[in-house]
Amino acid sequence: MRHIHSDWKRILLVLLLAMICLVAGSPVHAGGPRWIAGSNYFNASAKGKPVVWAGGQIAYYFDQGDLSPTVTKYPAEDLVNAAMSSWSGVATAAVKFTDSGVLAEDVSGTNVKAGPKGIAMPADMQPTATNRPLGIIFDTDGSVIDAFFGAGASSPALCQQNGAMTRVDNISPSGNILHALIFINGLCTTTTAQITVLKYQLLRGVGRILGIDWSQANEEMFAVDQVSSNGLAGWPIMHPIERLCDASGQSCIPNGTALRLDDIVALNRTYPVTAANIGSFSGKKLTAANTISVQGRIQFKRGQGMQGVNAVLRPLIAGTDLPDVRYTVTAVSGAYFQGNAGNVITGTTDASGNALNRYGSDDQKLEGFFDLSGVPLPTGRTSANYQLTFEPGRFAGCRQYLGGFLHDRAGDAFGNYANAVSFRAGRRIEYLSGRRYRQFR
Query: Which is more confidently placed, 264 or 394?
Result: 264
Please tell me the predicted confidence (pLDDT) of residue 392. Answer: 79
Question: How confident is the model over 138-164, as a mean pLDDT?
Answer: 96
Domain ranges of the chain: 2-33+265-333+368-440, 54-211
Query: Looking at residue 192, what DSSP letter applies?
Result: H
Question: How confident is the model over 276-283, as a mean pLDDT?
Answer: 97
Q: Which amino acid is located at 131 in the chain?
A: N
**Euclidean distance between CA atoms 49 and 222, whole angstroms:** 33
Return the HEC string of 238-293.
CCCCCCCCCCCCCCCCCCCCCCCHHHHHHHHHHCECCCCCHHHCCCCCCCHHHCEE
User: 168-187: per-residue pLDDT in tens?
Assistant: 999 999 999 999 999 999 99
Q: Inform me whether the pLDDT recorded for 217 exceeds 50.
A: yes
Please tell me the predicted confidence (pLDDT) of residue 351. Answer: 81
Lowest mean pLDDT across 322-336, 392-406, 415-429 = 392-406
Please tell me the predicted confidence (pLDDT) of residue 77. Answer: 98
**Beta carbons within 10 angstroms of residue 328's beta carbon:** 26
Backbone φ and ψ of 331, nearest 5° = -155, 145
Q: Which amino acid is located at 111 in the chain?
A: N
CA atoms within 13 A on the CB side of 390: 30
Query: Which is more confidently placed, 425 or 382?
Result: 382
Q: Inform me whether the pLDDT recorded for 228 exceeds 90.
A: yes
Report CA-CA distances (Å) from 14 to 90, 329, 387, 411: 37, 22, 20, 9
Q: 202: left (phi > 0), else alpha (psi -120 to 50), else beta?
A: alpha
Report residue 412's pLDDT band, with 50, 70 and 90 as the boundaries: very low
**Euclidean distance between CA atoms 145 and 183, whole angstroms:** 7
Report residue 352's pLDDT band, with 50, 70 and 90 as the boundaries: confident
Sign, Cα dihedral of 229, 230, 233, 237: negative
Please tell me the predicted confidence (pLDDT) of residue 431. Answer: 54
- The angle subtended at Cα 34 by Cα 297 and Cα 309, nearest 5°, is 30
Report residue 330's pLDDT band, with 50, 70 and 90 as the boundaries: very high
Q: Inform me whether the pLDDT recorded for 314 exceeds 80.
A: yes
Lowest mean pLDDT across 206-215, 241-250, 339-348 = 339-348
Please tell me the predicted confidence (pLDDT) of residue 423. Answer: 58
Q: What percent of the chain has pLDDT over 90?
A: 69
Question: How confident is the model over 212-229, as a mean pLDDT?
Answer: 93
Report residue 417's pLDDT band, with 50, 70 and 90 as the boundaries: very low
Lowest mean pLDDT across 69-78, 242-251, 369-378 = 242-251
Mean pLDDT of the chain: 85
Query: Looking at residue 325, what DSSP letter applies?
Result: G
Query: Looking at residue 235, what DSSP letter applies?
Result: S
Question: How confident is the model over 316-328, as a mean pLDDT?
Answer: 94
